[in-house]
Structure 1
Amino acid sequence: MEKFFKLKENGTSVRTEIIAGLTTFLTMAYIIFVNPNILINVIPGATPGSDLYAQFFGAFMVATILGAATATLIMGLWANYPFALAPGMGLNAYFAFTVCLKLGIDWRIALAAVFVEGLIFILLTLSGVRGFVVKAVPSSIKLATSAGIGLFIAFIGLKSAGIVVSDPATFVTLGNLTSPTALVAIIGFFIIAILFALKVPGSILIGILASTFIGALPVFGVTKYQGIIGKVPDISPTFLKLFEKFSWADLATGTFWIVVFTFFFVDFFDTLGTLTGLAESAGFIKNGEFPRANKAYMADAVGTSVGALFGTSTVTTYIESSTGIAEGGRTGLTAVTVAILMLLMLFFAPLGLTIPAAATAPALVFVGALMLKGLKLVNWDDITEALPAFITMIVMPLTYSIANGIALGLIVYPIVKTFSGKAKDVHWLNWVLAILFALYLVYLRG
């Protein structure tokens, strides 16, 4: 183990790596319950309490765990980095609420789009084109994309909790804050926020479990106990289902490719930012060089395609890995520990069915807030940078679409820059993307 992971060379030990892995796992384990709660929305007729709901919730939960464990094992055993991966927040919401529910794309075809996105990521990583694409897209758009996704998933969480509801006059308004669902979500939010502020490991997961317990109290009654430990759910409802509906004809549709591009864009730059930030915090980057970067990117890319085969949305590197790094995790043994703990969660499907939407909603709002911190790096004094960033960010929650935000942001950027006398700041690829997105919005958007 010492020789394989190079523990002494990285100034760590088996004990330190296992503790780091446990810490990382606790901070990201919420995805095991949150992801199925989001993806289940794509299954027609899957209402809470029904056999169909239990069947697909279990399958999505297993797909989440297997997708996360596979990618994390590749990261640990091949790249030898302490980074954990799982289905990305925001991308799962885009998959369910925009691609499937809004655009009306069958969930199996959406999985095919995720699979294709992963293949493109693999090819770009192998070819070295990654660096070119990174330089071409404005940093303000990249930062705003993450923030916009944060606002989007926070909005979904508030809606799920009944805190924000529809209104015929104003579109949205404040819901009934005294309803059992809203009260449980509000209590859960404060539990998560306080524990996080106190730097308690696993604050989000603890908040979800605490909210579930509170929701079971007679005064609330929103939690319906299904058990804690049980047999591993059947994954057949989602496994390899992307091949059932997908056909070569789908490759000729503009809508399919805009979905692929959006998945790719968000995954690509989210991974770029996360990996770079984690590598910097761990001291892996020396003289501007990130050793074995391609292996780390490849773990993410392969994880995405494999996850789609299992039946989950885009798998990406988790910023929560920073908690394990803070505990001293420096090698792939940390990641392997996370993967093993993930696999053990296969036996906790009943617990996943027990957790109500009121308990996962505060996690969505809280994670959404964390995703806004990159906005401080946007140059708000330069309107040619600030305006495209603002459009990218605000359009996502208001149109219920990550794709719309990215599209309009990339259209606004080159136009504002060029007519403000800053055409030299615009990469030629910006114009290509702007034209393609404009054509999509005018002619192809479903």
Structure 2
Amino acid sequence: MTNNGILENLFKLKENKTDIKTEVIAGITTFMTMAYIIFVNPAILSDAGMPFDGVFIATIMGAVLGTMAMALLSNYPFALASGMGLNAFFAYSVVLGMGVTWQAALGIIFFEGIIFIILSVIPVRKMIVNCIPMALKTGISTGIGLFIAFIGLQNSGIVVQNDATLVGLGQVLSGPGLVAIFGLIITGILHARQVKGALLWGILASTAFGWINGVTPAFNGIVALPQFSDWSQVLFQLDLKAALDLGMIGVLLSFLFVDMFDTAGTLIGVSQQAGYLDENGDLPKASKALLADAIGTTGGALFGTSTVTTYVESASGVAEGGRTGLTGVVASALFFAALFFKPLIGIVPSAATAPALIIVGTMMMTNITSLDWDDFTEILPAFMTIIAMPMTYSISNGIALGFITYPLLKLFTGKGKEVHWLVYLLGIVFVFYFLVH
């Protein structure tokens, strides 16, 4: 059997209306849009006292494990890595804020992953994901689109902090902002002309343009052998005994709650973009996808990194036509290769990947047309979900507000019987979530 035949049998390419070339381009694009985590995650966790170089390797290995698990278990084109937000919660809230050692915090994440594996096998997590009303699923998908576009605007310096208005306009015609605007125009033209790999070509063009105005750093070598002795400083260094202390229960529940709904939101949002949701709005193979996510979290803790979760940047690969686990295999291979090409990967500035995030966000906005605009009990919860994600910088907060407003509006307008009992229960849980936070 040829290599093409093996890949066809393993990933069902024809059944998913894709081919090897498309999947490879999608995998490269996904990697390029999330490669920043290789450097950002160690920078954040090093603030908590963890060695940068050790976390650098742990971040890559966690991404490889999680993404390969997703590819082989579910055959979905979703990539995983240490989650942004979750790593900040780990470093600044738990370790620095609460005085928990980073070893104990890793232990907490390990137990969180074990709990998620159990919930995925039962499968409680699948039931939670599939009970979400279609209006909220659409809101989640659209909100994630706005969220990742907002991240892109921030990464490029187009949107900056403003003490008077919270956010303001940055330097658009110089520095990173100019690189992003250039990339946005180039990528937009390529995408409009239906050029394969438009997002990837846009990232490469933006990186090249960045050399002109000094945003892209100069080459400082291409290959650098990883120092695995650095990895030993975080590998298997989790403190399970300290993590089992009764005082850690609150921290464990916080990690569980945020991770569960961040993952659920990302899976639903990207799945709707890829056309995976069935006629009932349910995600086939949800249990397998959630199990892969749990494996990534558990393995990441053992490797020495914060919670590994499904990435919204996976939408960039989906936008390039990625429809199977082969996209994830390609992304995983590139993550592993990054161990040896640290200097080369490091020259791609965040401003060069920002246009891809903005354009993917644009495409994900199209899901909003599926809402029933004549039913305000559907529109308002969806809007609250959408607007809260970028405004509070949290997928979980958007989902929470949606789950609180949806059942209440239905209940007090005589439509309470339309709502799944689990939605009522989760609405109550989210109210308590806000009370304790």
Smaller-chain TM-score bracket: 0.7 to 0.9
Deviates more, 1:237-246 or 1:32-41: 237-246
Q: What TM-score comes out, normalization by structure 1 length?
A: 0.77
Establish whether residue 94 from structure 1 lines up as the match of residue 96 from structure 2.
Answer: no
Shift of 1:271: 3.0
Alignment of 1:232-311 (within 5 A): 232=226, 234-236=230-232, 239-240=235-236, 243=239, 247-249=243-245, 252-254=248-250, 256-271=252-267, 274=270, 294-295=287-288, 297-310=290-303, 311=305
| Structure 1 residue 96, shift from structure 2 partner | 4.4
Provide the residue aligned with 2:134 in structure 1. 139
Task: Summarize the Cα distance change of 1:422–1:246 in structure 2 as closer, same or farther, 3 Å threshold.
Answer: farther
Quickly say closer, same or farther: Cα 1:364–1:112, change in 2 above 3 A: farther
Alpha carbons of structure 1 residues 358 and 163: separation in structure 2 relative to 1, 3 Å: same
Q: Which moved more, 1:99-108 or 1:178-187?
A: 99-108
Match of 2:38 in 1: 36
Give the Å deviation of 1:75. Answer: 4.9
2:26 is aligned to: 24
Structure 1 position 314 matched with structure 2 position 308? yes
C-alpha displacement of 1:263: 1.4
Which residue is equivalent to 2:356? Answer: 363
1:227 partner amino acid = G
CA separation in 1, counterparts of 2:284 and 2:433? 39
Q: CA deviation at 1:302?
A: 1.9
The counterpart of 2:341, out of the listed 348, 372, 379, is 348
Q: Deviations over 1:187-233 (max 9, x none)?
A: 1222333333334444333333332222222x445534333322235
Partner of 1:49: none
Aligned residue type for 2:337: L
Measure the CA separation in 1 of the matches of 2:138 and 2:284: 24
1:242-269 per-residue CA deviation (whole Å, 9 max, x = no partner) reads 5489622477544542342221123135
The answer to whether the 8 Å contact 1:393/1:405 transfers is yes
2:164 is the alignment partner of 1:162: no
Partner of 1:30: helix, strand, or coil? helix
Taking the aligned partners of 1:423 and 1:268, their CA distance within structure 2 comes to: 24
Counterparts of 2:388 and 2:170, CA distance in 1: 22
Q: Is the 8 A contact 2:273 2:364 kept in 1?
A: no
In structure 1, distance between residues paired with 2:144 and 2:13 = 37
Determine if the alignment matches structure 1 residue 226 to structure 2 residue 228: no
Letter in 2 for 1:143: T
For 1:193, what is the secondary structure of its paired residue?
helix
C-alpha contact (below 8 Å) 2:135/2:379 kept by paired residues: yes
Residue 429 of structure 1: aligned partner: 422
AA at the equivalent of 2:202: G
Distance (Å, rounded) in 2 between the aligned partners of 1:157 and 1:382? 33
Secondary structure of the structure 2 residue equivalent to 1:231: coil
Amino acid at match of 1:161: S
Do 2:63 and 2:308's aligned partners in 1 also have CA atoms closer than 8 Å?
no
Q: CA deviation at 1:390?
A: 0.9
1:188 equivalent to 2:190? Answer: no
Is the CA contact (8 Å cut-off) linking 2:377 and 2:406 kept in structure 1?
yes
Aligned partners of 2:154, 2:380: CA distance in 1, in Å?
A: 27
Q: CA deviation at 1:378?
A: 2.5
Q: Does the 8 Å contact 2:183/2:355 carry over to 1? A: yes
Shift of 1:173: 1.8
Q: Across the two proteins, how many residue pairs are aligned to each other?
A: 424
Unmatched 5+ stretches in structure 1: 47-51
Matched position secondary structure for 2:114: helix
Residues 178 and 319 (structure 1), Cα distance of their counterparts in 2 relative to 1, 3 Å cut:
closer
Query: Is the 2:86–2:306 Cα contact (8 Å) retained in structure 1?
Result: no
Please tell me the residue identity of whatever aligns with 1:385: E
Matched residues in 2 for 1:348 and 1:422: separation? 57
TM, length-normalised to structure 2: 0.78
Contact 1:23 1:324 (C-alpha < 8 Å) held by counterparts: yes
Q: Which amino acid aligns with 1:358?
A: A
